[in-house]
Chains A and B, each alone.
Chain A
Amino acid sequence: MNIGWYLAVSALIFTIGAAGVLTRRSPLVILLCLELMLNAANLALIAFARMHANADGQIFAIIVMVVAACEVTIGLGIIVAMHRRRLPIDVDELRELQG
């Protein structure tokens, strides 16, 4: 398969993830959509690594996976803390930082 196909799939997944971040209200699902976007970026990185037959892009993808795991851990910790303080699990309700 040509590399362009992989890039098109990656762009489509990224778009779906971005639209999900914009439309969903549960912070859990927003974190899942962030995962989608990071994975789309990973696919593009690995496609470019294959294009140049150079494994540096795969290292980059692994580092992105590490950062994604950290982001998930902290995000889920925040959600658990919100649940414990009986705050609503809804990003529309949490607007104290709005200014």
Chain B
Amino acid sequence: MVQVLFFLAGIGAIAGAIGVVAVRNPFFSVLALVSHLLCLAALFLLLHAEFVAAAQVVVYAGAVMVLYVFVVAYVGGQDEPLGPRAGSGLRLVSVVFGAVLFIELCAATLGSGLQLIDTQGKPVPPAFGSPRQIGELLLTRFLLPFEVASFLLLIAAVGAVVLARRRGGLTAAEDQARYSAMDLLRPAYTGTMAEAVGGRRRLPSVTERAGATTPAQAPASPLEDA
């Protein structure tokens, strides 16, 4: 039973990995990666890593892949030609590199002479890999890496916002399309993201509004920031 599951999940994982590399459309690459991650979670379950498998499915195959799908949809996943542009020597080199890397990795792990590598591993305690054990380890012995990881996530979130924000806020034309009743009641310079990044008022002054009635006449704003 374990063998059957292992081979099913292993073949699924390898097929998903090949799909990521070999499919032309980035959208289908993402979908192949999702199936790869699900098969990998099955392998983790076979290795008694229940918590990591659950985190893999929820965080990776769920949240991170949704982020990927959104970005592919935003950027527009145009098909790319797969082969190298000039000559096909580079592709041959990459295949040779991959083969050499595989042989080297197999020699490094399988040929390492570890005594337990040809066994199924030491017998595990009953709660091995359960959320209880992982949580206990994370909050006692690995408390410092846990906290550092949370800081790393915070830094990455702030960095992503800084990288992907709009420079200079909204244009006047866009502003006018987004008025709500609250904007008339709200004092200036309180609270919108556009004001925060550009120092721009949400409601343009009367003269500015008269000058920018249509998008074509809108003054060149720092938005298009080149």
A contact residues vs B (CB 8 Å cutoff): 1-20, 22-26, 28-29, 31-33, 35-36, 39, 42-44, 46-47, 49-53, 55-56, 58-59, 61-63, 65-74, 76-81, 83-85, 89-90, 92
Contact = CB atoms under 8 A, between A and B. Distances in A.
Given A50-B121, A59-B142, A65 B21 contact: no
B95 interface: yes
A33 B125 CA distance: 35
Nearest to A39: B40
Nearest to B21: A20
Interface stretch (B97-105, B179-187, B194-202, B205-213): B97-105
B129 A17 contact: no
A46 B80 contact: no
B105 A19 contact: no
Contacts of A43: 40, 43-44
Interface string B46-80: 11110110011001100110011001101101101
Contact of B33 (A1, A36, A66, A76): A36
Interface of B: 2-3, 6, 10, 13-14, 17-18, 20-21, 26, 29-30, 33, 36-37, 40, 43-44, 46-49, 51-52, 55-56, 59-60, 63-64, 67-68, 71-72, 74-75, 77-78, 80, 82, 84-85, 90-91, 94-95, 97-99, 101-102, 105-106, 109-110, 114, 116-125, 128-129, 133-134, 137-138, 142, 145, 149, 152-153, 155-157, 159-164, 166, 225-226
B80 to A, nearest CB: 5
19 contacts: A1-B2, A4-B109, A6-B43, A7-B106, A11-B105, A13-B17, A23-B91, A29-B29, A32-B68, A35-B64, A36-B20, A43-B44, A50-B121, A51-B116, A55-B133, A59-B138, A65-B55, A66-B152, A79-B71
A9 to B, nearest CB: 5
Query: Main secondary structure on chain B at its contact with chain A?
Result: helix
B14 A9 contact: yes
B116 A73 contact: no
B73 to A, nearest CB: 11
A37 B145 CA distance: 22
Given A32-B29, A53-B125, A92-B85, A19 B43 contact: no
A83 B75 contact: yes
Contacts of B124: 50, 53
Contact of A49 (B36, B47, B123, B153): B47
Nearest to B114: A51
